[in-house]
Structures are given as C-alpha cells and as structure tokens.
Amino acid sequence: MTAPTSQPDSGERPAFAHASEAEMSRILDFYGVEWRYEPTTFPILWNLDGEVVESFSPDFYLPDFDLYLEMTTLKQTLVRKKNRKLRRLRELYPDIRIKLFYARDFRAMMLKYGRLALAESLSGTPGQLVGGELTAGVMTENRVAASAAGPRPVDGGEPGASEPSPSEPAANGVVPERPGTVVMSTTGSARREPRRRRRRGRRAGATTPAQPAPRAD
Amino acid sequence: MRTATDLQADIGEILLTEAQLQGRIAELGAQVSADYADRTLTLVSVLKGSLPFMADLMRSIDRPLRIDLMEVSSYGGATTESSGLVRILKDLSSSIEGEDVLIVEDIIDTGLTLNYLVRYLRGKKPASLRICTLLDKPARRLVEIDVDYIGFTIPDQFVVGYGLDYGELYRNLRFVGVLRPEVYSTVG
C-alpha cells in the first residue's frame, strides 16, 4: 500500500481551486487558525499491479486540531462522488480526522458573516454552489435537546450530530473513526478523477452588495 | 420603522420559549453555584449577543461574582478588509490573572470566535477558564472546543432572539426563534 504523500509548506499563498476555498482561508486567517492547503495526498485505490489509480487530497489541514477539512461546495452528483472517496479514505486511514464542509455549511457561514451574497454569487459557476440544494438543507430539523444535568464536554454524540450518508449529506460532517480494511480494485476500471483546474481564488466580496452586519458566535 | 410585532412575523418557528429559557438558565445557575462553591467567580460575557443570557445567568448564581465584558470583531465586518485579523473591540476592564473565569456565550457554532477568545484569555493567566453557552450548534462546528455548560443543543437552523440578531435586529425578542429563510434570502 502506497503511503500518503505530503507537500512541504512553501510559505506562499496557494492558488486555490475554488473561490469558496479562498474565502475559507481568509476566515481561518482572520481567527488565527493555522492551515495548510492540500498538504497531503492519500492514495485510495490501486490496480492489480499496485499502481495508484485514485487518490484524495483534502483541501485544508489544521495542524492545531489535527484535522483535515474538505470543502464540498459542489453540485449533488459530485458530492456523492466525494462522499464515496471519503468513505474509502475512512476505511483505509481510520486514524485520520476529516470534516466535510458542504455547500449548505458554506452558505450558513456566509449568512452568519453577512456575506450571503457571496455564496449566492458562486451559484452556477464551475464547481461551485447550487442554490436549490443549499436552501433545502437549512430548515429541515426541528429538534432541541436540553443538556443533561451537570457540566459536560461537547463530543460527536450530541443530538443533532449524525454521520453523513453517502448520498445525502448529514448535518454534521464529522467522520467517525472506524477500523478499516484495504480494498484493491479487481476490475481495473477505476478512473482517476481529472485534476481540478487550478485558478487563483477571486477576491471574495469585492463585488457583492451590502449585507447585514456579521454575527460573532 | 418596524415594530416588535413585525419582527415576530419574520419568525417561522419558536424554538425555545421564554419559560424554557428561564427554566434552563436557572438550572445552569444552580450548577455553576455548586461548582464554584468556595470560589469567587468572574463571568466574562461576549458582546453583544450574550447580554440577555449574561443578565439572567448572573442573577441565578448564588455566589459572589464579578462580571466583565468583551467584544471582538467578526469576519465580514467593517474591520475585516483593513487588517484581515480578528480585533478586540472591547477588552476586559480588569485583570483576570489568578481568577476563576467563566466565559458566557450566547451560541457556539463554528467555534472559531470562541477558540480565539480562549487562547486570548488563557494568555492572561486565569486560575481556571471554563465555558458556558446558552446554545450549542454542533452541526456547524469547525474547531472542537470543550464546553463545560450547555443550555440547549439546537438543530442546524438560523436562530434569532434573546440576544441573537440578524442585521442587528431581533435581539430583543424574549424567545429564540427560527428566522424565515425568505427574510435573509431577499437581503442584498
């Protein structure tokens, strides 16, 4: 099994593949959270000759939290594909902590920061947000859970936190760790996804209309 | 000028009634009172959203306590473009070195602001530093933070009222409600 490969940190601002990633980098910078962009590539599928035919490079790594962050602000068909890759990653690398950040998560974050117009402006652009699916995810649950008596830490078992299904993103993108097994391709038909076109993330908010003041959480 | 009645019309659903809020806050106050039985507590409230919660929580704690207020800039605000970094808009009024400090928050979702605050306050060397939040929205968490007291864990919905705002409005509602999506969808 080929080991994950890591890119050295060049110290330069990377060329983000999507404007949403550039925006996320600015948010992390704003709050002083250290990050690296696509620092590690995880092989997730090999052919019978042992060659890597599919790999996965999560968008961000937050070293202070030992956490990978994958922005999935794509249309639903691509979300399913990414969910499948994430499931493979989880099987093969059970110790890796990774969180999916769906389109609706990005939209909710922009709403909170008074930059909803940015999220809306990304709709319909290549590899970007799709408005219809975003709206559906915001107002679905109707549960409120009072905490049990006594102080307690927050963990993944809180009400409202659930594992995302392969085809339907759940509210919480936390991927629980599970014992994994290495699975080899038996057909050789696995396709490597085309490398995303790299482009400089555009300056977010430069052309967006006025929005309500942001809310601090 | 919009009236309170108009604002309530923007609420799609009441998530937490005034009675539910006050009942739970009384429980939290009792817990905090028990946990800090022999100590003098300093409550640090984070402006502006936590003001109503702070006011009610402090009155439900039956122990000697001090209060202080902080405010930090939020991403997307007027200060964002100038520095690109979070700023302390209002710092503590007095030292917390050696004090038992409890951060009082209205809501935790991404955890980014709180993570920054915790790091900042730890630098001031309090004897202890714990976190109390009225609302916890774990579905939105980006960075994990241990929260010591949680009022309610809420679903992934945009809520306003009882200090929480949208465009600086709705803070004065006595309940926590879910804002109708058409309210923010039409802005801009």
B22-41: pLDDT as tens digits: 999 999 999 999 999 989 99
**How far are the Cα atoms of B43, B45, B55, B89, B91 from residue B66, in angstroms, in the given order?**
6, 11, 12, 21, 15
Give residue-wise pLDDT tens across range A1-47.
667 777 666 667 788 888 889 989 999 999 999 999 999 999 999 99
Give residue-wise pLDDT tens across range A161-185.
333 333 333 333 222 223 332 333 3
Contacts of A99 in chain B (CB under 8 A): 142
Give residue-wise pLDDT tens across range A94-108.
999 999 888 888 888
Q: What integer pLDDT is reported at residue B71 of this predicted model?
A: 94
Distance separating alpha carbons of residues A105 and A214, to the nearest angstrom: 16
Tell me if B54 sits within 8 A of B46, measured CB to CB.
no
The yes-or-no verdict on residue A205 having pLDDT over 90 is no
pTM summary value:
0.72
CB spacing of B188 vs A208 below 8 angstroms: yes
Percent above pLDDT 70 for chain B: 92
Portion 125-184 of A in contact with B at CB < 8 A: 135, 137-147, 149-154, 156, 158-161, 171-172, 174
Q: What integer pLDDT is reported at residue B83 of this predicted model?
A: 54
For the segment B128-143, the average pLDDT, to the nearest whole number, is: 94
For the segment B47-61, the average pLDDT, to the nearest whole number, is: 97
Give residue-wise pLDDT tens across range B76-131.
744 444 457 888 999 999 999 999 999 999 999 999 999 999 999 999 999 999 99
Query: Residue B136 pairs with which residues in a beta bridge?
Result: B108, B153
Residue with tokens 């652009």: A125
Q: What integer pLDDT is reported at residue A212 of this predicted model?
A: 59
ipTM of the complex: 0.83
The answer to whether B109 is a known catalytic residue is yes
Q: What integer pLDDT is reported at residue A11 of this predicted model?
A: 66
A99 and B CB contact within 8 Å: yes
For the segment A69-75, the average pLDDT, to the nearest whole number, is: 79
Question: φ, ψ for residue B23 (rounded to 5)?
Answer: -65, -45
CB spacing of B141 vs A142 below 8 angstroms: no
Residue with tokens 């769906």: A102
**How far are the Cα atoms of B49, B52, B103, B167 from residue B69, in angstroms, in the given order?**
12, 13, 10, 21
For A83, the enclosing helix (H) or strand (E) is: helix A76-92
Residue A136's closest CA among A79, A90, A86, A85? A79
The yes-or-no verdict on residue B163 having pLDDT over 60 is yes
